[in-house]
Structure 1
C-alpha cells in the first residue's frame, strides 16, 4: 500500500511539474540577408520593397523616425525614405490618383520598418498598446503597413485630424467619437478611401493602414541603406 502511494505521489509530482513548465517559444523567422530578399523577389516580384516616392513622385514624405520629432525623441532611421511591398505601392498610386482629383494628397510618415527598430520601440515605449510586440513582429516589418495622413494639394497643409501622428491618447482610435465634426469627417474619409483599395485602418491608430494581404510576406530586417 505504501509503495503504491509513493508511486502515485511521484507520478502526480512529475505531471504537475510538466504542466508548470513554460512552453518552448518558437523562433521568429526574420529575413536579414539582402541576398535572401533578392532571391524572394526573383521568385515573386510582389515581394519587392518599392521606394514610395520614386513610384509616386507627387506624394509627400514626413519621415519622423529620421528626425527627433517622434515619440522616441531620437533618430531611428539613417535615411528619410519610405518603402512598401509592390502591391501596397500600387494601391497607394490608385489612392493618390483619386485624391488628387478631389484636391487632396497623401503624406507618408512611415512605411517598411526594419525589425531591429521594432525591438527598440518596444523597449522604450511607455504605452505598449501603441507599438508592435517583437515576439510577433509588425506589419511594418513585412512592408505591408503605412502611416499617413491627408494634405490639401494647393497649400500642402495637413487636414485636421483627431490627434497628431503617433499620439498615445484615446482620441487616436479610429472610431473615437468625441472629436470635432471636421476631424471626424476627414478621418472617416481617409479610412474609407484606404479601405476601398484593401488598406485597412488599425483600430487604435487612425493614421496606420495594413494591406489586407500582409500574411503572404516575411518579416524583414534589412536597413534602408541596402534597398
Structure 2
C-alpha cells in the first residue's frame, strides 16, 4: 500500500481505542464537527502507530486516540473559536492534522482506563506544555512514557500540547480537505 494513502487506523490495528472528541460535543468547540468517530491517517503513519500499540501492549498499556486527520474545513471552524497558533494551527497554512500525519492521544492501562496526565486533552493552559513541572509525579512520568513510546517510532511532539505528535516527514503531505465519507473504512 502507498505510504501516503489515507486509511482508517481500525483497518491497521483494532486494539487502539478511539475517543474522537470532535465527533462529540465534548470538546473546546462544544459542538460535533466530525460526522463519525474515525481515526484516519497516512498509511505509513498508521503503521507506526500500530507498532507503538504493540510495543505498549508488552507493558500492559495501550493507546487512546482523540484526533487524527482533520479536514481543512474543520480547521477553519477551530480557528474561528481559538485563533491562537499556540493551540490551533492557522488554516491559511494548514495543520499537520490536515496532512494526515499528526495524532492526539494518551495512554491507557490494560482495562482501557486513561493514565493520569498533567492536564486534560485540549486544555489550553500551561499545564498542557511538555515542560510543565506541576501536577503529580505520576502524571509527569506517564507523560514521559507516552513521549518515549512515540519517539521510538519517529514521532515528535509539540511543546504546547503533551498529547500531540507529528509523524516524521509530515511536511511532504499536502494539506487536505477530503471528507471522512470519501475515505475507505476497510
Give me the whole-angstrom Cα distance separating, in 1, the residues matched to 2:173 and 2:34. 22
Instruction: Say if 2:23 and 2:32, in contact at 8 Å, map to a contact too.
Output: yes
Answer whether contact 1:127 1:168 (CA < 8 A) is retained: no
Structure 1 Cα separation of the partners of residues 174 and 75 of structure 2: 15
Task: Specify which structure has the higher proportion of helix.
Answer: 1
Offset, 1:129: 2.1
Counterpart in the other structure of 1:60:
17
The Cα offsets for residues 105-134 of structure 1, whole Å up to 9 and x where unpaired, read as 000101000001001100112644210011
Name the counterpart of 2:178: 222
Partner of 2:29: 72
Instruction: Tell me which of the two structures has the higher relative contact order, counting C-alpha pairs closer than 8 angstroms and 6 or more residues apart.
Output: 2
Secondary structure of 1:130 counterpart: coil
In the alignment, structure 1 residue 166 sits paired with structure 2 residue 122: yes
Q: Assess, with a 3 A threshold, how the Cα gap between structure 1 residues 215 and 126 changes in structure 2: closer, same or farther.
A: closer
**1:187 corresponds to 2:143:** yes
Bigger Rg, structure 1 or 2:
1
Q: How far apart, CA to CA, are the structure 1 residues paired with 2:75 and 2:171?
A: 18
Counterparts of residues 1-227 of structure 1 (less than 5 Å):
45-125=2-82, 127-153=84-110, 155-227=111-183
| Alignment length (residue pairs) | 183
Matches of 1:194 and 1:81 in 2, distance apart? 20
Query: The residue matched to 2:157 in structure 1 has which SS?
Result: strand
- TM-score normalised by structure 1 residue count: 0.78
- How many Å separate the matches in 1 of 2:85 and 2:102? 18
Q: Tell me, which stretches of 5 or more residues in structure 2 are unaligned?
A: none
| Structure 1 CA distance for aligned equivalents of residues 29 and 154 of structure 2 | 30
Residue 90 of structure 1 deviates from its aligned partner by 1.0
TM-score (norm 2): 0.95
Q: What CA RMSD, in Å, does the superposition of the two structures yield over aligned residues?
A: 1.1
